[in-house]
Amino acid sequence: MSVFPDIGSYAFLSDCETNALVAPSGQVEWLCVPRPDSASIFGALLDRSAGLFGFGPGGVEVPSQRRYVPGTMVLETTWHTPTGWLVVTDALVLGPWRGGSRSDRYQRVPSDRVAQGVLVRTATCIEGRVDVLLNCLPLFGYGATPGTWSYQGEDYSHAVASAQGGPELHLTSDLRLALTGPRCHGRTVLHQGEHVFAALSWHAPPPASYGEALAQLAGTTAFWREWLSEARLPDHQWRPFLERSALTLKGLSYEPTGAILAAATTSLPEAPGGSRNWDYRYTWVRDSAFMLRALLRLGFEWEAYQYFAFLIETMLGSGVQIMYGLAGERDLPERTLDHLSGYRGARPVRVGNGAFDQHQHDVWGMILDSVYTHARHQGTQMGPAGWNGIVQLVDAAVERWQEPDRGIWEIRGEPQHFTASKVMCWVAADRGAKLAAARGDAECAARWRRAAEEIHADVCARGVDGRGVFVQHYGSTALDASALLIPLMGFLPPGDERVRATVLAIADELSHDGLVLRYRVEATDDGLEGEEGTFTICSFWLVSALALIGEHGRARSLCEKLLSLASPLHLYAEELDAVSGQHLGNYPQAFTHLALIDAVTQLIELETTGPAPGPGGAADQVSQEPPG
């Protein structure tokens, strides 16, 4: 099959150390090992000749049904062929920590169950007879280098693929494996009740039998269900979306360090055939405040702590920048892979991210809101070294808030005085003052409170147009969805007329068929060419903002529309095409699922208890009154 599947049709697998995307055809078309930001071994997502792993019925490419085994990241695909029915089950295996010496893979202590470095696949004929085919074609280095296969052992059940500079891959199966150049393949006919397995390993020994493969699937299923059972989830019709979003965020985590990826992929385009294609396999400070709120709101205190610890240790140890690698790497140089065609011809394909050294003033506010949220929930006292680091962060925001920056959207045009950046500098000063007061540091509290008042007055004087609507940057009349952060972060109370005017202007003027754009590309010097889709996180932000200003019916209608546009497996990419509903951009996108959790839980609270005290619910609240 040469055509690219829709982005939203892929299934997402994870073991919290790497992840994979599985096409509806049953082919694994994206897998990078040993880390999610490593080079791909299966890259058909970005070029149909860049490697894949197929396992399923012959002659059929459209399944009857695909679903996750409830409460898990285990994929189950049911096939109907002209001669029978087949069920294929796929998972990236999690198994018990085996103990022994410390592992170089882990900066944090391993959990009871950890990634095994094994992709396991089973196929069972449930009626009639079905031809089953295996086709494993790893191409190392993002499709650049074919591997060399050889047998291991005395029979045809275990083969090994390797290439210079790449990981060694072990493939086991109860099919007889044939080796043809860079490809390993096999075929059999299953009758009702019969089954086969295939497993690909790059770390632990792969299963040697169907029974072992089945046991690994059972253990992985139990892990995900046990983890999800810790969540605080409402008994509501939207609960499945919250469950899938929680599982997706967990799946995007990198267990060895506590980092959380922005997305599992690189270079999926923001517009069909476009050039706005970026590598999102890193962790963004921008996501931090929303990440902690979402994790804590759903009851995942341990994941929140792990992420917070990664964030603080990384920043205080090496300085603040807008994004980091999964182990805290600071240097993320961007390059293009010109040998790849790109998804549906969208080029260039990029790895690395050239925005890593941009100056974006929102980072200080996101960090301080994260620290403040953590302090309110955990109640732990920060030591002198940690507090000194926080003082440096707040002071940096206070000293630099009057400078232009690249803004929350990482524009590659000229720096501007972005309104949202000033608002987030206010957040840094406001949260810093509250933390200082709680700590008994009266000097810092007073100094930062004065700075917050100054920033607040400046934004209210220079960030508003003649009709009382907050604009993209000083001196502009353009709208920007980042202005929705004004009520969401507590800069002004929801009842303020400027807030209401801004929220309604974005809803009415910065949307396409009800879905929100980040900004109008024709009115923004972002240094790029081409169009982009509507940003789904901004649409969920609008749901939250509409609910805050009392537009509950409108908020619910938009939320229902957004939920109806989820992928068949309840996943979201970064953007949506407002006309076709197709998902655009990298996938699945953490930021989108974070915003979904906030918006959906807020609307459910409105249904059950009436309006919440402010953004994020009562537990996460900061003052909704302007300073002074």
What average pLDDT is seen over the chain?
Answer: 92
The answer to whether residues 209 and 269 belong to one domain is no
The structure's pTM equals 0.94
- Express as a percent the part of the chain with pLDDT over 70: 95
Does the residue 94 lie in any domain? yes
Instruction: Please state the rounded mean pLDDT for residues 23-35.
Output: 97
- Same domain? For 29 and 99 the reply is yes
Domain end position, chosen among 189, 224, 259: 224
The residue written with tokens 């050239």 in the block is 354
Identify whether 234 is part of a domain: no
My answer on whether 246 and 315 are in the same domain is yes
Ramachandran region, residue 24 (left: φ > 0; alpha: ψ -120 to 50; beta: rest):
alpha
Asked if residue 232 is part of any domain, the answer here is no
pLDDT at 248: 98
The dihedral over CA atoms of 550, 592, 7, 9, expressed in degrees to the nearest 10, equals -70
Q: pLDDT by residue (tens digit) across 292-322?
A: 889 999 999 989 888 988 988 888 766 788 8
**How many domains in the chain?**
2
C-alpha 522/C-alpha 128 separation (Å) is 58
| Measured distance CA(605)–CA(35) in Å, rounded | 38
Range of the domain at 25: 7-224
pLDDT of residue 1: 41
Q: Of 224, 256, 289, which marks where a domain is finished?
A: 224
Whether residue 325 sits in one domain with residue 206:
no
625 found inside a domain: no
For the residues 149-165, what does the mean pLDDT come to?
Answer: 96
| 251 and 171 within one domain | no
pLDDT confidence of 380, banded at 50, 70, 90? low
Residue 527: which CATH number? 1.50.10.10
Same domain, yes or no, for 173 and 254? no
Q: What is the CATH number of the domain that holds 172?
A: 2.70.98
Are 215 and 304 in a shared domain? no
Give CA separation, 184 vs 46, 55, 120, 161, 526, in Å: 21, 12, 16, 9, 46
Q: What's the CA gap between 31 and 40, in Å, rounded? A: 6
Same domain, yes or no, for 417 and 336? yes
Picking from 328, 338, 337, 333, the residue whose alpha carbon sits closest to that of residue 354 is: 333
Distance CA 6, CA 557 (A): 26
Q: Percent of the chain, pLDDT > 90? A: 79
Q: pLDDT (tens digit, 9 = 90+) per residue, 420-464?
A: 999 999 999 999 999 999 999 999 999 999 999 999 999 999 999
Q: Is residue 292 part of a domain?
A: yes
Do 427 and 360 belong together in one domain? yes
Span of 177-186, 251-260, 610-619 with lowest mean pLDDT: 610-619
Model pLDDT, residue 339: 98
Confidence of residue 353 (pLDDT cuts 50, 70, 90): very high
Provide the pLDDT confidence category of residue 98 given band limits of 50, 70 and 90.
confident
In-domain check, residue 573:
yes
Residues 309, 385: one domain? yes
Q: Assess if residue 628 is contained within a domain.
A: no
Contact 574, 270 (CB under 8 A): yes
Residue at a domain's end among 195, 224, 253: 224
Is the pLDDT reported for residue 586 higher than 80? yes
Q: What is the pLDDT of residue 188?
A: 98
Answer whether residue 626 is part of any domain. no
Residue 626 has pLDDT above 60, yes or no: no
Q: Say if residue 622's pLDDT is above 80.
A: no
Q: Are residues 171 and 308 in the same domain?
A: no
265 and 179 within one domain: no
pLDDT for 516-537, tens place per residue?
999 887 766 666 666 778 999 9
